[in-house]
Copies of this chain bind each other. A is one copy, B any other.
Amino acid sequence: MSREKQGREEIAGGRRMARRDGLAVLGPAPLFVLVEPQMGENIGATARGMLNFGLSGLRLVNPRDGWPNEKAGAMAAGASIVIDQTRVFESTAAALAGCQYVLATTARPREALLPVLEPAAAAAEMKQRIGRGETCAVLFGGERAGLSNEDVMRADGIVSIPVNPAFASLNLAQAALIVAYEWAKADGRAAPASELDIAIPAPREDFERFFDHLVAELDKAGYFFPEAKRANMERNLKVAFMRAGLTEGEVRSLRGVIKALASQRGGADK
């Protein structure tokens, strides 16, 4: 089966479906660096969220349970291509080697004099820089302690996700998902899943003929009563139908509806 065909079928089959070559379509994107992550499940979920939104470069600094991690692999499921390429480092400094622009995610911006960006602005900034050939990385702290001040100070800026101040318990994988999502939006590569043809409204005269037909049948049925209210009643009905922006096919269907409803008289006469 050709690669393209295979991709098509998998996607047509539903939502999921990692293609083995899921990375082939990905362009350059930020690296995600998890500093002292604890639970394999969260590493795996982060990998999934990354691949969902077109990122694949994952680096770990001293994962608590070592590496490779079975639970990470299980949770990553179809995103094992991210897990398989994950690199492990002994210090944040080592993990950031070669990076030109680094952002640190924290829920509470520190007193540090770093610029604070919301995820969308952070993604836009990275998109620009990556376009210029820079390597960008986003640091995420472990579940327990978040990022140390020392690690935050390695960054050029802070990404802060605006959460409900009364309940700000985003976990590692959720924070990564949102940054990845904003990256995909900024990157513009994640195609909107839709290929819908937008409905084209029927020509005006078709609509008018439909509406005249409706009014004529309603007249026969004595709908416009009292006569003084006719103009208002007609106008209100027309506005409702106009708002729908009916297509040609829909106008045809509705004329069929009128005919069917009105023709009951014929049926009763027989």
| Chain A residues packing against B (C-beta within 8 Å) | 7, 10-19, 21-26, 48-49, 51-54, 77-79, 106-109, 111, 113, 116, 118, 120, 141, 143-146, 158, 160-171, 174, 177-178, 181, 184-185, 188-196, 199, 214, 217-218, 220-223, 233, 236-237, 239-241, 243-247, 249-250, 253-254, 256-258, 260-269
A-B contact pairs, 19 of them (CB 8 A): A11-B166, A14-B107, A14-B108, A14-B144, A14-B171, A15-B106, A16-B168, A19-B166, A19-B167, A22-B164, A51-B164, A158-B194, A162-B191, A163-B193, A177-B177, A178-B178, A221-B264, A223-B257, A233-B253
Q: Which residues of B contact A177 (CB under 8 A)?
A: 174, 177-178
**CA–CA, A223 to B254, complex, Å?**
11
Q: How close is A117's CB to chain B, nearest CB, in angstroms? A: 9
**In the complex, which residue of chain B has the Cβ closest to the Cβ of A220?**
B264
Say whether A221 contacts B171, CB under 8 Å.
Answer: no
Given contacts A194-B116, A240-B244, A240-B254, contact A169 B48 (CB under 8 A): yes
Q: How close is A185's CB to chain B, nearest CB, in angstroms? A: 7
Task: Report the copy number of this chain in the oligomer.
Answer: 2
**In the complex, which residue of chain B has the Cβ closest to the Cβ of A39?**
B12
Partner of A52 from B14, B24, B164, B189 at Cβ < 8 Å: B164
Q: Which residues of B contact A26 (CB under 8 A)?
A: 164, 166
Partner of A261 from B12, B170, B188, B218 at Cβ < 8 Å: B218
Q: How close is A259's CB to chain B, nearest CB, in angstroms? A: 9
Q: Which residues of B contact A188 (CB under 8 A)?
A: 162
Q: Which residues of B contact A169 (CB under 8 A)?
A: 10-11, 14-18, 48, 52, 77-79
Partner of A143 from B14, B107, B165, B190 at Cβ < 8 Å: B14
Partner of A13 from B77, B145, B164, B267 at Cβ < 8 Å: B145
Q: Which residues of B contact A240 (CB under 8 A)?
A: 244, 246-247, 250, 253-254
**In the complex, which residue of chain B has the Cβ closest to the Cβ of A21?**
B166
**In the complex, which residue of chain B has the Cβ closest to the Cβ of A49?**
B174
Partner of A14 from B141, B184, B192 at Cβ < 8 Å: B141
**CA–CA, A196 to B145, complex, Å?**
22
Beyond the given A11-B169, A52-B164, A240-B254, please list 17 additional residue pairs across the A-B interface where CB-CB is below 8 A.
A7-B165, A16-B168, A21-B166, A48-B169, A51-B167, A113-B199, A113-B247, A158-B194, A162-B191, A165-B190, A218-B260, A223-B257, A236-B249, A236-B250, A237-B253, A239-B250, A241-B244
**CA–CA, A240 to B19, complex, Å?**
38
Given contacts A178-B181, A193-B108, contact A146 B15 (CB under 8 A): yes
